[in-house]
Structure 1
């Protein structure tokens, strides 16, 4: 059997990585092949077989695969052969509207992406709140599996402590330093603008450095769609981790998350660590630019803050943030993390690849489902 993996156009990360590592362990005699973009080739461990993303070899691999596993659209000129099984894992719980539910998209974009959706056989849902939203947004008629996300299994595993120590050492984060992971999402009007402006931060880095000092470090992870247009001032107190191979490992390393409308909030909540929201453009993003599936203010497990100064204030008193949002955090985890028990990878493999691994189809955890038609 040949299995071809793709993540975000040629990276080694996310749900495909978690599935790959377990499938290689269970079925090492099968052929496992990754698409790898040249810019991210260094993120692949030694021994992982790759083909350049978008190359003739990549197209040949996809067209000869028995299984294709991807966490994102594959907008390449390839023709899926009869018998190939395409597992689309996707990559996040949607707060912001996606695909056909968005308020606006460039002409022809959704039609082109629909051609990709038509090749999917299976789609994963991370939780019950996302299942029907994913089906209707994509217009997906195949099998939809409510399993949790394989990439998050690490966050419920004893191995998290080891990964945390390794990543903090790699990034030079000293013992006792509070690692603040900042994950602002992309804005449609910036990404699709004709002049492609730089992505600029609204967080006041000078104020962050002045008031938080050496006890804190800002790990900046901007979205891959704008990472190449990030303009970080020279000497800023920032570690740019936008191209760090897997955000999952950064979740393990971080002590607190700052985000806005990014799906990273749902994954980070598995850790139980504080979440602070910097929602300086909330009304515009919610009402004009993209739209939400639910009211963030009603369910957020942390404060929604309008100014950079307020964000720094919150970081200075995380005990208060935790105490004042304890009940909201518990409800948020119940709604969006109810399947994140450390066994999502097993559930996906036992459901999609039983003939490959000899596994039986186990029961889902309480509250979970496999097929939603």
Structure 2
């Protein structure tokens, strides 16, 4: 029921507008009675869905730094009972305690948003947004007005946002309304692991995942289509391929890991077997990327992260024209790497693929679109320290 209500508010313009103005006024009125706490840091990842990504990397750095030993760390989740967090208090998003905590906090650290679609900020809050990836698809005010799923109101209150490239800085400055001088050019803390992993981790992770060491691993990570919804207005994804056919043609060479976007509430019609695994709920995307040899995606920011490892990347843009019309893109991924726009051509490509021949294309992509990476968690922590200590 809660998901249905949230999706209704998100996708119904009239309902969202009413929610935005009424609740924003209420929270800002509440702020008059909340005393700021200079030692409180509030974290969330994907607005409360997960305990991972860059906010977790920054949390780990701060937790292990003596300068923050007296600080009270709080993580907000939609379902706190699902997560084991050492060194922090857990609270539930959307309740009164959540909004009071947000108003009290000296620091907000997120990779998406803290405000729950509203317009407020604590009296003394430093707002750090690491964000969660470089965009191929249009974002913020660049999205067509007819796309109601991503309406935004009010001025962006972010104090510092991480960036991993000049391209990303230029895009986000425009579409999110953040001055360029507010960007921290160090990369995404979550990607430190990808830049610094040891080669033997690949085999260790494959053993952990139960993947034969003699098979090449394909990680398929499509982005979501906000216009594909179920009866509860949740975004859904049906695999755009015949997985039985893929198994028949590829299982002698490959294992396929299927990873849906975090916005997807339901992944339909995946029958797992020794060839295909549904890893949508696997807790660490980084581990899946390290274990993989090949990334296949479409318009997802996962390309930028994966490119840090200089591995083979392929596009599968079966709905390019439709996606371009409904969402829009900043550039054509098909001009950057190899791939296919239909299933038959992609299968042929995989059967004949020389992985090593594709790596120079990945390297060129990385050099163009990922300028900063490798030590972002520490540098982001230092940014927080400069602003609050």
TM-score by length of 1: 0.84
| Equivalent residue for 2:207, pick from 154, 169, 174 | 169
Cα distance in 1 for residues equivalent to 2:233 and 2:104: 39
Answering whether residue 345 of structure 2 is matched by residue 304 of structure 1, we say no
SS of residue in 2 equivalent to 1:353: helix
Partner of 1:134: 172
Residue 99 (structure 1) aligned with residue 133 (structure 2): no
Q: How do 1:11-160 and structure 2 match up within 5 A?
A: 11-26=50-65, 27-38=68-79, 41-76=81-116, 79-107=120-148, 109-110=150-151, 113-115=152-154, 118-141=156-179, 143-158=182-197
Distance 1:108 1:223, change over 3 A: closer
> Residue 330 of structure 1 is aligned with which of 342, 363, 388?
363
| Cα gap change, 1:348 to 1:55, in 2 (>3 Å) | same
Residues 29/317 of structure 1: CA separation in 2 closer, same or farther (3 Å cut) = farther
Structure 1 residues 354 and 135, CA, compared in 2 at 3 Å: closer, same or farther?
A: same
The 3-state SS of whatever aligns with 1:189 is coil
Separation (CA, whole Å) in 2 of partners of 1:20 and 1:160? 26
1:178/1:215 contact within 8 Å kept: yes
Query: Is 1:313 aligned to 2:348, yes or no?
Result: yes
Q: Which runs of 5+ in 1 are unaligned?
A: 358-373
Q: Contact 1:86–1:121 (CA<8 Å) still a contact in 2? A: yes
Report the CA distance shift for 1:31/1:196 in structure 2 as closer, same or farther (over 3 A).
Answer: closer
SS at structure 2 position matched to 1:293: coil
For the pair 1:292 / 2:329, whether they are aligned, the reply is: yes
Correspondence 1:6 to 2:47: no
Partner residue of 1:364?
A: none
The superposition leaves residues 343-367 of structure 1 with CA deviations (integer Å, 9 ceiling, x where unpaired) of 122222222323668xxxxxxxxxx
* 2:262 alignment partner, SS class: coil
Deviations 1:74-115 (A, max 9, x none): 3426842211101011111111110110124445952xx334
Aligned length: 345
Change (3 A) 1:33 1:170: farther
Superposition RMSD in Å: 2.6
The 1-side partners of 2:289 and 2:123 are apart by 39
Calculate the TM-score normalised by the size of structure 2: 0.80
Aligned match of 1:370? none
What is the 5 A alignment of 1:163-242? 164-191=202-229, 198-213=236-251, 215-226=253-264, 228-235=265-272, 237-242=275-280
Structure 2 residues not aligned, in runs of 5+? 1-38
